[in-house]
Amino acid sequence: MEMFQGNNVTEFVFLGLSQISELQTFFLLLFSGMYAVILVGNILTIITVNVDNRLDTPMYFFLSHLSFIDLCYSSVTAPKMLADLVTETKTISFNACIMQKFFLHFIGGTEMLLLTVMAFDRYVAICKPLHYMTIMSHRTCGLLVAASWVGGSIHSLVQTLLLVRLPFCGPNVIDSFFCDGPQLLNLACADTTLTGFLILSNGGLIAVCSFSVLVTSYVLIIQTLRNQLTEGKRRALSTCGSHCIVVTFFFGPCIYIYLRPSTSLPMDKVVSVFYTLITPMLNPIVYTLRNGEMKRAMIKLGTRYIFPARK
């Protein structure tokens, strides 16, 4: 049974990234490698944080959850995209399309909120160091992560309920490699002005609120660190620098796609690849290569479990 009554459309057809066979082969090799790096890098980060007792701190607790979210986020779109690169007909059922859109915003909204929580954690660590362990207790950290998931689910549920009320009677061709709100709004056979405004407002609210907290946190951090560049402060700046890179990579493409009217532009597919594949791939690299503690923990993990010394 179809999920929603009154729709003539039972499936959607993706145009994908390119119709040129040579480019499809190139994209298959490129994105397969990137997805493999996402899987290995984020799984390794999660294992390292949970195995090494020295990393039992709020910052690394949040980092392990960010890695798990990146695994889920990329897996919403990447497997289907890779499968479509080796098939001539790139279709997805109506129900599966709606579910893909739901999980994309569910996990993406959760990541926005978690990045905000991580900025707050750095603010407390640097601006209120004497009260850090009291404020960022294990219970508080767990509640903040849970709140991020709940907030992401509410955000996505609102987006999805607004979208599924629309009738779809054709055409059913999506000029992308995954299902998302802007493309589906363009295919609805009804006036989507109000729905588009509500979806934009919903997405804008979570993005603007999260980004405002992030900017405020880093302004306060920079003010605190000004003229206090001891070794510990330099390390704190390095950690914040890594977080800023991740935030820029994630929020920049999302703002470009979602905080504007629902129109398709030639660059949309390129930008979509950036936040669905490149950012989840770069997150573990950025946090590892710019963090000496993580590098030492990973080397220790490899020495102990992967390449144990011969007796």
How many other CB atoms are found less than 10 A from the CB of residue 187?
A: 17
pLDDT tens digits for 44-93?
Answer: 999 989 988 888 899 899 999 999 999 999 999 999 999 999 888 889 99
d(CA 45, CA 29): 24
- Per-position DSSP letters for 208-232, written without gaps between them: HHHHHHHHHHHHHHHHHHTT---HH
Report pLDDT for 197: 83
Cβ atoms of 71 and 280 closer than 8 Å: yes
pLDDT tens digits for 96-147?
Answer: 999 999 999 999 999 999 999 998 998 898 888 889 989 999 999 999 999 9
Domains of the chain, with CATH numbers?
11-306 (1.20.1070.10)
Q: Is residue 231 pLDDT above 70, yes or no?
A: no
d(CA 181, CA 179): 7
Residue 303: C-alpha distances to residues 121, 306, 307, 308 (Å): 31, 6, 5, 5
pLDDT tens digits for 24-43?
Answer: 889 999 999 999 999 999 99
List, in sequence order, every residue forming a beta bridge with 91; answer none if it has no partner: 13
Report pLDDT for 245: 76
Residues contacting 159, CB < 8 A, separation 6+: 101, 102, 105, 181, 199, 202, 203
Specify the pairing of strand 91-93 against strand 11-14: antiparallel
Q: Is the peptide bond before 171 cis (omega within 30 degrees of 0)?
A: yes
d(CA 216, CA 183): 33
- Per-position DSSP letters for 105-157, written without gaps between them: HHHHHHHHHHHHHHHHHHHHHHHSGGGHHHHT-HHHHHHHHHHHHHHHHHHHH
Coil, strand, or helix at residue 173?
strand
**H or E segment and range at residue 14:** strand 11-14
pTM: 0.87
**H or E segment and range at residue 91:** strand 91-93
pLDDT tens digits for 260-299?
Answer: 655 666 677 888 888 888 888 888 888 776 677 888 888 8
pLDDT tens digits for 148-178?
Answer: 999 999 999 999 999 888 888 878 898 888 9
Per the structure block, which two tokens stand in for 210?
A: 């999260």
